[in-house]
Structure 1
Amino acid sequence: MSKCAFLGLGVMGFPMAGHLVSKGHEVTVWNRTPAKAEDWASKHEGKAATTPEDAVAGAEYVCLCLGDDPDVEAVFDQIEGALANGAIVIDHTTASAGLARSLYERCAARGAHFVDAPISGGQAGAEAGRLTIMCGGDGEAMAKARPVMEAYGARITHIGESGAGQLAKSVNQICIAGIVQGLSEGIHFAESNGLDVAKVMEAISGGAAQSWQMENRWKTMVAREFEHGFAVDWMRKDLRIALKAAGESGARLPVTALVDQFYADVQAEGGQRWDTSSLVTRFDTSRKQ
């Protein structure tokens, strides 16, 4: 088994690091809030480090699960000099492809390797060890990183060269944005016409309209319960990254840009930490006006 460092213990990183221990890896964690790292260490057979540099000292694998480009850059600046020769950095943060390419080059200059490996599957997927992981990087690094990622990943796909994993994650978020908006409009339409939404969902969920969002979110959407799942703030961050990449490549994302502004409406109503399915609340606001 391998010596691993795991930096970032949010709702995703906390259980992911735990799965590494359960698979027999030696794990040292770090978190910006030290109490979170200590809490993790008290629940798993691992260690908590007080600095990122201490966490990665001697590590064969360094896993990152942070917030945004600036967070990844700040932590990487601290650990760069401590990376062991041949170490593999696996970045599970949803960040930009440009940053991935930059860190790939910086790792290569130190004799280390870098894999951008954003994840999908939410907190439930992280806790179950059933995440989808989209990867960019060299084939050799991927082959070495795969057994480690298999501790918490059920579907691991090597998309292409450095940055390709992050671009694939943008595709994922683009698709989700459109699906959630469509589901929100469908529920709003059913409610406005006095239909029994449960019966409507039973009727259509077995056909072409079926989706993960419908399967897992329609009940909480109808109940207007959003204190769970993937936060609107994080979705807007991801869509910002996607829209910026679209501008750089010439891709056109008119629906994505529109839904991004709809999420801005939800934020303005105080829903920054609500689940992304809270798009349906925009129709409640319109009825009040």
Structure 2
Amino acid sequence: MSKPSYRGRFAPSPTGPLHFGSLVAAVASYADARHQHGEWLVRIEDVDQTRTRSGAEDRILQAIEAFGMSIDGTLVRQSERTALYDQALDTLRSNSLAYPCDCSRKTIAAIAHVGREGPIYPGTCRLRPPTNAIDVAWRVALDESTVQFTDRIIGDLQQHLASDVGDFVVRRIDRFTAYQLAVVVDDFEQGITDVVRGADLLWSTPRQIWLQRQLGYPTPNYAHVPLVYAANGQKLSKSDAAHPVDEDNPLPTLLAAWQHLGQTRPTARLRNGNDFWTWAIENWRLTSVPVDRKHIDD
């Protein structure tokens, strides 16, 4: 049996229950996958075990089920995939694309320029390797190329990683694999063709594409949906108790997520979540999703 031409995924972190902002991303990725008759996988992004909260994974999976989204394939947990991440790092190291770094955050902050997502690492350990290669992080050795890609919602984007980000970390000093490398390996291993996620990860995309190219992986299609912001202008977090989702009455929350995604409001009377998805999958239009200007212009 051949694989579907579309394979999407939702990848929550088990740091708390599903909130409305996360649900919006889930609804968008699920609707896009089902509209294109594709598969929809769920991956638990628990690579950073220091942030995992007991019971959070179960609560997230219960919420996904309560809101009528069915999962294809086997549930994947990053905490069970360490060997795959080690292999990818070994490939980067063997190709002289990663090097050890023992610089502290305090040291970097004192000497680095501040970029879009924090201090831009100036390459200190690339020029002067640390003498102790045990208690170190691992960074990639970027080239001078510009990464260009087309977001299905936003359009054409580009970033010069060396000047805008600097050599970024792929293995932390506490030996946890960094998000950028883990997600690239996971998407490849799961055969993900399309990534629909929140706009807060928009500028992670050039780093992930760069890693894909170095590791010989294909690049999925990307689409970044607008975030949900609290009254203070900050992105909703799982600690924001003001925006829970009501699993006992899913339809109003699904309709609110649908509206946030710029979709046409149903004209037919919907009685429950099943009615919603029957209608929504047919009527999903990615071209109607608004652009989150905040994460382009910041």
Do they superpose with TM above 0.5?
no
Q: TM-score by structure 1 length? A: 0.34
Greater per-residue helix proportion: 1
Q: TM-score by structure 2 length? A: 0.33
